[in-house]
Amino acid sequence: MKQLFFLLLIISLNTFSQSIDLGKKEDIMKTHFVEENKELYVFYKDSISVIDIINFKKIKNYKTSLPIISGGVEIVSSNKNIYFIENQGGRVFKLIGDKIERIDNSYTHKMQWGSSLFVYKDNIYRYGGYGFWSTRNFFTYFDLTTHEWEIVSPIGSTELPNGSLFSTIKIIGDDFYVYGGIALNPFEPKENIMNNEVWKFDFIKKSWNFLGKSKFNIGEPKFNYDENVFSISYGDKQIIFKGEVELHVIDVVNNKISIFKKTSLQGKINALNKLFFYEGFFYCLINISSQGTIQLVTRNEDEFFGELISEHALYETYDNWFLIGFIFISTILLLLLFLKIKQQKIKKNRINISNNNLIYKNIIHPFDTKEIQVLKLLLKTDDLVQSSQIMDIVENKTLHYAHNIKVKNHLMENLNFKLKTLLRIEKDIITSKKSKEDKRIKIYYIDKSYFYVK
């Protein structure tokens, strides 16, 4: 009986507590699990090792190294192939045999830094990201035919999320969920704020749906790297390692967040050497600090989780009528704002008469009182202005009629010259012609398109 007991104990330990030494911590650059092959790839400084996780042994070793790129790469696998995606741009590399070769026709555009990479129906996608003081709210995918990145148009959407980076994502069937991460203050693009919105995208309908806002601080509102904050896939759920104390299990479909106390084992795991979950077991890459090495160990679900602290709704939903009312009021306010901005823009780019001055492009240009009076007369009159009406303004009773005609003509020429100089154009703003009724009468016309007329 004792022999049987010890035999069962040995089998139990081998089943639930398998381990394999991966080498020095500083030599390991990245790790990646390829589920289709049931293989863990360990990327060292100058080589790659492949571990069969079913038999828990190393089966391959390549003498090659990761692409040396500023900002590094993220690793994804699709259809048993391994790809290396540039963090700061669109360059894509592929493991072909025992070599890593570049396969894209893209470049380092720096427009989707911090985007979330994922695979959907064997295609590589990225969502969100940051570039040029703004965050992205769209998908791009790598076209394996053209070897370029293309955009996904949300043609079935009536609403769109705010852009974000370092968000948590989850693919369940044809639905894509995104929440957490960092957004930017729209009024101060240099200020990072928490992204507390939860959204779902239907890849079949190409439509976004706003689910609600989360009360929980998922991720950190900062750009600097934190090895204690990262997430992994856990079936239809997502596990977020939250600092040194907490672990969050997110069930976004059922709107639930479970908060657990971190165990001592979980405290030895970081974002550089992520764990992964496969067929009921967690495969953990833990730091053996006394030896300075990384070890791969397994734990079942019961062994892995610590004490459950609390459970809550992940996000708060909003009444549709409230949302419709908010959208309606916002639309009206935006329309009024648009009209106001448009009016101000028109006013700025046209001549505005105020008192005895002309204002153009926010600069005051002083004009003669009689010149202002003539301009006002020409602008307020719908029909052509007769010469006699202008004479009423400029006439000097002490002068002869012929002399007053010269004064009037000089004023009109001088006014045209000033306006052309102000607008930097060649044509006359004020034109004249003979009246059809009486050829002796001269009539004047002003091009009102250059003026802001209330």
**52 & 169 share domain:** yes
**62 & 161 share domain:** yes
**310 & 425 share domain:** no
**Cβ atoms of 217 and 209 closer than 8 Å:** no
3-state secondary structure of 433: strand
Q: Does residue 8 sit within a domain?
A: no
- The CATH number of residue 35's host domain is 2.120.10.80
Question: What is the spatial distance between Cα 216 and Cα 314, in angstroms, rounded to a whole number?
Answer: 7
**367 & 311 share domain:** no
Q: Does residue 7 sit within a domain?
A: no
Q: Does residue 5 sit within a domain?
A: no
Q: Does residue 79 sit within a domain?
A: yes
**296 & 363 share domain:** no
- The CATH number of residue 429's host domain is 1.10.10
Give the pLDDT of residue 224: 47
Q: Does residue 32 sit within a domain?
A: yes
**151 & 280 share domain:** yes
Name the pTM for this structure. 0.66
Question: What is the spatial distance between Cα 410 and Cα 367, in angstroms, rounded to a whole number?
Answer: 15
**Cβ atoms of 390 and 444 closer than 8 Å:** yes
**279 & 369 share domain:** no
CA Rg value for the chain: 36
Cα distances (angstroms) measured from residue 134 to each of 112, 113, 194, 195, 198: 10, 11, 15, 14, 19
Residue 104 structure tokens: 């894209």
Residue-by-residue pLDDT tens, the chain, 454 positions = 545 444 444 444 444 457 899 999 999 999 999 999 999 999 999 999 999 999 999 999 989 989 988 889 999 999 999 999 999 999 999 999 999 999 999 999 999 999 999 999 999 999 999 998 899 999 999 999 999 999 999 999 999 999 999 999 999 999 999 999 999 998 888 898 989 999 999 999 999 999 999 887 765 444 444 556 788 999 999 999 877 788 999 999 999 999 999 999 998 887 777 799 999 999 999 988 888 899 999 999 999 999 999 999 999 886 555 666 778 888 888 888 887 777 666 666 788 888 778 888 888 888 888 998 999 889 888 778 888 898 998 888 888 888 988 998 999 999 999 998 888 898 998 998 888 888 888 899 899 888 887 7
**363 & 305 share domain:** no
**295 & 374 share domain:** no
Q: Does residue 12 sit within a domain?
A: no
**392 & 445 share domain:** yes
**182 & 315 share domain:** yes
**308 & 383 share domain:** no
Question: What is the spatial distance between Cα 401 and Cα 254, in angstroms, rounded to a whole number?
Answer: 92
Give the pLDDT of residue 346: 65
Q: Does residue 380 sit within a domain?
A: yes
Question: What is the spatial distance between Cα 34 and Cα 19, in angstroms, rounded to a whole number?
Answer: 19
Residue span of the structural domain in which 276 resides: 17-324
Question: What is the spatial distance between Cα 58 and Cα 294, in angstroms, rounded to a whole number?
Answer: 15
Give the pLDDT of residue 9: 43
Please name which of 4, 40, 55, 12 lies closest in space to residue 294, comparing C-alpha atoms: 40
Helix, strand, coil percent content, the chain, rounded in steps of 5: 20, 40, 35
Residue that terminates a domain, selected from 324, 357, 390: 324
**Cβ atoms of 273 and 42 closer than 8 Å:** no
Question: What is the spatial distance between Cα 21 and Cα 12, in angstroms, rounded to a whole number?
Answer: 20
Domain count, the chain: 2
**Cβ atoms of 119 and 71 closer than 8 Å:** no
Q: Does residue 4 sit within a domain?
A: no
Cα distances (angstroms) measured from residue 436 to each of 384, 408, 442: 12, 21, 10
